[in-house]
Amino acid sequence: DAGVTQSPTHLIKTRGQQVTLRCSPKSGHDTVSWYQQALGQGPQFIFQYYEEEERQRGNFPDRFSGHQFPNYSSELNVNALLLGDSALYLCASSLRQGNNQPQHFGDGTRLSIL
């Protein structure tokens, strides 16, 4: 039973570029959340997708956008990259039924901005 998978593992970009990160949820899960984890900090909630719609959003600018596909996989897009966007980006999946389902995390994508 595959868990949450993310790609790529590492990515290097320069300021001003755009990036797309991908996530496949754990089998049977239908909800995907994205978190940003800066070095030495805890993860910060970016947004959450269910039924291909953004359901909740954290305190992140519109440069951060996402998408969920019919197979429940998801993408995180970041435009006009800034040095401060360097972080580990974590994807988490859960099952929507019941609001106390724990989230399962992938290993993340390490994004470095030069």
Partner 1 sequence: AQSVTQPDIHITVSEGASLELRCNYSYGATPYLFWYVQSPGQGLQLLLKYFSGDTLVQGIKGFEAEFKRSQSSFNLRKPSVHWSDAAEYFCAVGATTDSWGKLQFGAGTQVVVTP
Site residues (CB under 8 A) for partner 1?
Answer: 4, 31, 33, 35, 40-45, 48, 50, 55-56, 58, 90, 92, 94, 99-108
Q: 15 vs 55, which CB is nearer to partner 1?
A: 55
CB crowding 57-81: b at 16 or more within 10 Å, else e? eeebeeebbbebeeebbbbbebeeb
State in angstroms the smallest separation of the CB of 13 from partner 1: 20
Contacts of 45 (CB under 8 A, 6+ apart): 33, 34, 35, 56, 58
Which amino acid is residue 82, in one-letter code?
Answer: L
Q: To the nearest whole angstrom, how small is the minimum distance from the Cβ of residue 112 to partner 1? A: 14
- Report the C-alpha gap between 114 and 65 in whole angstroms: 21
Nearest approach in angstroms of CB 28 to partner 1 is 16
Q: How far is the CB of 102 from partner 1 (least distance, A)?
A: 5
Nearer to partner 1, 78 or 109 (CB): 109
- In angstroms, the CA 14 to CA 83 distance is 8
With respect to partner 1, which residue has the nearer C-beta, 45 or 67? Answer: 45
